[in-house]
Chain A
Amino acid sequence: MHYEFGGGLSYQLTGRSLTRTVLWGMLAAALLGATQPTSWQAYNELAGTLCRKGRDTGDTAWYDQAGAALRKSLELSPGNYDARKLQVTVLLGRHEFKEALRAAVELNHKMPDDIAGWGLLVDANLALGNDAEAERDAQWILDLRPGSKLGFVKAAAVRERFGDTEGAMEFLDEARRRTSPNDLDEQAWLLKENARLAGAK
């Protein structure tokens, strides 16, 4: 499938490489982009979907494409918060961890009630080996939004780092229970993660 998003962005994708959620996400973003070519939200939607694809496949090329979409978003709406968050995800995907941490700290100071910002801090700190800081940040998510899916996912990563594989699997199960059954990509990713941990036991 040749995918034209507008604004000079296009993607050549095969149908088999797309899971349903990603496909719908990209179609929705395309529709929004086609009808609202100046919509920075559309570029954010696209970037978010591409980042998710990058997470699922481990292919950094997806993050590069997401980065391009975010540049368009930021051209249309300089400094928009959602794009800046996604930029941190892109940096993490590209393994530019120090820069990711710096940007995540800045965003966290801007809006400390946003648990997604704390999640980026967890990721960056774990990647840099700052385990105590990652634990602190994951605990903030669990405290700020008790029972949130994001909190369980991030705390699972910290538990895994601490060698608590069973505890990590427990949290991933909790996260999956909080995931819509229609979100097949996310369900699959959480199951895959749990299977990976089970295999590591």
Chain B
Amino acid sequence: MNRKSILCVVLAAGLATPPRGFAASHREAPITALDHKADITDFYAFVSYDDPSKVTFLLNVDPLLEPGNGPTYFPFDDTIQYAIRIDNNNDAQEDVYFLFQFQTEVRAPNVFTAFVGAGAGINAPANSPAPVPPGTPIVPPAVTALDGSGSEGLNLRQRFTVTMVKNGVSTPLTNQAGAPLFAVPSNVGPRTMPNYPALAAQGVYSLGNGMRVFAGTVDDPFYIDLGAAFDSLNFRVGAGGGVLSPAQDADDHTNTAPDFVSGYNVNTIAIEVPIALLTSTGTRVAATDPAATIGAWGTTARPRTLVRRAPLPAASSGSFAQVQRMANPLINELIIGVGYKDYWSMTQPKDDSQFANFDLDPLLARVLNAVYGINVPAAPRTDLLPLVTYAPPIAAPGTPAGPVADLLRLNTGVAPTAAASRRRLGLLAGDAAGFPNGRRVSDDVTDIAARAVAGVFNPAFNVAPNNRIGDGVNTNDVPYQETFPYVAFAQSGRDRRHADPGEAGCTMNSGAACPIN
């Protein structure tokens, strides 16, 4: 369900490719289809809603986590190196990056589930069979803390480390409170975790220098009518069949199609960083300053097997092999050919010129043209350059364009949009703080990406139906937070709800039923 996916379906439908193509959505490349833990579902970068002096990055991995799927739920992979990388001088190479690595501890090896607890704890009753005497603690107290008292039921617990590398200097970032950094476990349910929001909030740590971090399982902030998209673009008639009515398009708070990601969780790594630590000038500058725009991307990497063994000299570049990278929510899925996807995932953004033909003459646009008969711009698609170079309207005029590279570009000088004025269509709707100027959790990248490929960045093509393409899912199933980490905390394993077609409560679990047809 990588938001990269919907138009992949268009492609698949248009070219009558076999169903295998449909499976390449949130597992868009063959290698990540085999490696869920390393699969980046989404990458976000935006100026913090409540602090315009900082940028928040979110790296989401491990797609479609069913909240009730115990007993071990969804730990991060200790062997994966997760990274968030930032270019600040327009060369598409990292100048600042953050590395995250996890370490799992099993605190009660004989207990059959990762998380357990109830009330003040449950002891063996009077009729307890020998040899366990009555009064022996059997079930620990409910989980109310990540560490210390109240954390006894966290049988499986993960610590993590954060390292900032800036200009080649590596700096471990530690919890300013002195304790280890703990990942927030999934929300098992109200008996085990009676106040989950309070528990999860303990996972927000200050790293000093104005930085904060959070890692753990959260509600998947993405939303899409995945089933309709995968059914060869069989979008609901109730949602305009793929082209929204003006009223539907204007309503950012009502779904007219089911959100197939509703009720699912995802693992996130969130870090909030002062802008001054990110820009090349070391300061926060105005949006009109070329230094204001950064480019960011996320990566996952695994230890690699090297051709050369120690002590022979290692000619290879490092001890990790990149499994995946992600910046914009559409490039690998919608643009890159299937014979190149793994190779693309493992290469570096600075080398993306080798994929320029894909970027600037996307086959998908031709499929849209062929299938729907809509007019699309001719190649080369210079209207798409803001997605793959530093260019207006995201970057200030005069910003060096840099090489063609898939980076999520964010003008850090653009102030965040207040919640009441925030638009799901971001920049397309005049909300300058939204995708493709960075990406917020609420941005409807499915609709934006589809319209971008249809050419709406070019005024001549910013017309109906190109500029009303949409799936009818306009908002998430649960409210986001307005403070770090901005995503909603994890959905309850016991009480989660997936909003299916025909069920009442299509919008935020209330209101009218989701249409079946």
Spell out A's residues near B (CB within 8 Å).
Answer: 110-114, 132, 135, 138-139, 142-147, 151, 155, 158-159, 162, 164, 167
Contact = CB atoms under 8 A, between A and B. Distances in A.
Interface in B1-40: 29-31
B342 A142 contact: no
A167 B307 CA distance: 9
Given A112-B343, A135-B315, A143-B321, 17 more contacts: A110-B339, A111-B340, A113-B29, A113-B338, A113-B341, A113-B342, A113-B343, A114-B339, A138-B307, A139-B304, A139-B316, A142-B306, A146-B304, A147-B305, A151-B305, A155-B305, A164-B312
B308 A142 contact: no
20 contacts: A112-B339, A112-B340, A113-B29, A113-B338, A113-B342, A114-B339, A139-B307, A142-B305, A142-B321, A143-B321, A143-B322, A144-B31, A144-B343, A146-B321, A147-B305, A155-B307, A159-B308, A164-B308, A164-B309, A167-B309
Chain A facing B: main interface SS: helix
B381 interface: no
A194 B309 CA distance: 18
B346 interface: yes
A151 B321 CA distance: 14
A162 B343 contact: no
Q: Which of A143, A145, A167 has the most CB of B within 10 A?
A: A143
Interface of B: 29-31, 302, 304-309, 312, 315-316, 321-322, 338-343, 346
A143 B304 contact: yes
Contacts of B343: 112-113, 144
A159 B307 contact: yes
Contacts of A114: 339
Contact of A142 (B29, B307, B309): B307
Contacts of B316: 139
Contacts of B322: 143
Contacts of A143: 304, 321-322, 346
Nearest to A174: B305
Contacts of A167: 309
B307 to A, nearest CB: 5
A162 B308 contact: yes
Q: Quick one: which of A113, A132, A142, A146 has the most chain B CB within 10 A?
A: A113
A174 to B, nearest CB: 9
Contacts of A132: 315
Contacts of B305: 142, 146-147, 151, 155
Given A135-B315, A146-B321, A158 B307 contact: yes
A82 to B, nearest CB: 13
B315 to A, nearest CB: 6
A159 B309 CA distance: 8
A155 B312 CA distance: 14
A190 B262 CA distance: 51
Nearest to B313: A162
Contacts of B341: 113
Given A142-B304, A144-B31, A113 B339 contact: yes
- Closest 5 A/B residue pairs (Cβ): A112-B343, A111-B339, A143-B321, A113-B342, A167-B309
Contacts of B307: 135, 138-139, 142, 155, 158-159
Nearest to B321: A143
A163 B340 CA distance: 33
A113 B321 contact: no
Contacts of B29: 113
A92 to B, nearest CB: 20
A111 B336 CA distance: 12
A159 B340 CA distance: 28
Nearest to A115: B342
B302 A146 contact: yes
Contacts of B30: 113
A119 to B, nearest CB: 13
B308 A135 contact: yes
Contacts of B346: 143-144
Nearest to B346: A143
A168 to B, nearest CB: 10
Contacts of A151: 305
Contacts of A158: 307
Contacts of A145: 31
B214 to A, nearest CB: 30
A155 B306 CA distance: 8
Contacts of B308: 135, 159, 162, 164
A111 B316 CA distance: 23
Nearest to A113: B342
Nearest to B309: A167
Nearest to A118: B343
A77 to B, nearest CB: 18
Contacts of B31: 144-145
A148 B315 CA distance: 21
